[in-house]
Amino acid sequence: MAKADQKKTRLIIRTIVLLILVSAVVYTIASKDKVKVLAVGDKAPDFELVDLEGNKQRLSDYKGEGVFLNFWGTWCPPCKKEMPYIERQHKAFEGKGVHVLSVNIAESRLKVETFRDQYGMTFPIVIDKGKSVMGVYNVGILPATYLINKDGRIEQIITREMTENEIVTFMESIQP
């Protein structure tokens, strides 16, 4: 084979490889755009998970009431710090149409029950074993809290540790 033919063959192969790589990059970028990132004002996606008592918890069951949707982990220091505040305010607001729904991210039932007992948590706790709810809500860091109003819309998204005074203000903001 002549040198000119070899150069031509290499050029064709390189061009094909380059086109495949460019196509893969374009596909990856285009498919990422299809993931819906939730924002304030969006309808909160409904979900169903079973709580530690065996009851089905659906976000849609709280229609007409405020929901303090908190994602957390037993290993998370800010989660540990704010849990007693959330528990106190849960008790203060439970008769006022504001509910705490607590979503643990994929930990064992034993770890979650031990944590619940240690912190005296009385609100519903579900475990998102497959991280499906975490994915739908685009939770990246913990703790993450979604304030959902009586119409099922997201009022605010908090992705940091909260003080007790902030929790009071947040719960008041979603009180029907």
Query: Where residue 63 sits, what CATH number does that domain have?
Result: 3.40.30.10
What is the rounded distance in angstroms from the CA atom of residue 149 to the CA atom of residue 159? 18
Q: Structural domain tally of the chain?
A: 2
pLDDT in tens, 155-176: 999 999 999 999 999 999 999 9
Q: What does the pLDDT read at residue 21?
A: 78
Q: For residue 18, is it left (φ>0), alpha (ψ between -120 and 50) or beta? A: alpha
Rounded to 10 degrees, the C-alpha dihedral 150/80/141/144 comes to 10
State the pLDDT confidence band at 35, using cuts at 50, 70 and 90. low
Domain for residue 4, yes or no?
yes
Residues 6+ apart with CB under 8 A from 155: 40, 147, 148, 149, 173, 174
* Tokens encoding 59: 């976000």
pLDDT in tens, 60-104: 999 999 999 999 999 999 999 999 999 999 999 989 999 999 999
pLDDT in tens, 129-158: 999 999 999 999 999 999 999 999 999 999
Closest residue by Cα to residue 134 from 41, 39, 45, 33: 45
Residue 136 CA, distance from chain mean position: 7
Q: What does the pLDDT read at residue 4?
A: 74
Q: What does the pLDDT read at residue 176?
A: 94
Residues 6+ apart with CB under 8 A from 138: 35, 37, 38
Answer for the pair 68, 94: CB distance below 8 angstroms, yes or no: no
Q: Is there a single domain that holds both residue 28 and residue 76?
A: no
Q: What does the pLDDT read at residue 30?
A: 62
Q: What is the mean pLDDT of the chain?
A: 92
CA distances from 51 to 91, 103, 104, 137 (A): 18, 9, 10, 18
Domain for residue 72, yes or no?
yes
DSSP classification of residue 160: S
Q: Which domain holds residue 27?
A: 1-34
Q: Is there a single domain that holds both residue 13 and residue 70?
A: no
Q: Is there a single domain that holds both residue 100 and residue 25?
A: no
- The residue written with tokens 């106190």 in the block is 88
Cis peptide before 84 (omega within 30 of 0): no
Domain for residue 66, yes or no?
yes
> Which pTM value belongs to this model?
0.80
For residue 33, pLDDT over 70 is answered with: no
- The residue written with tokens 């909260």 in the block is 162
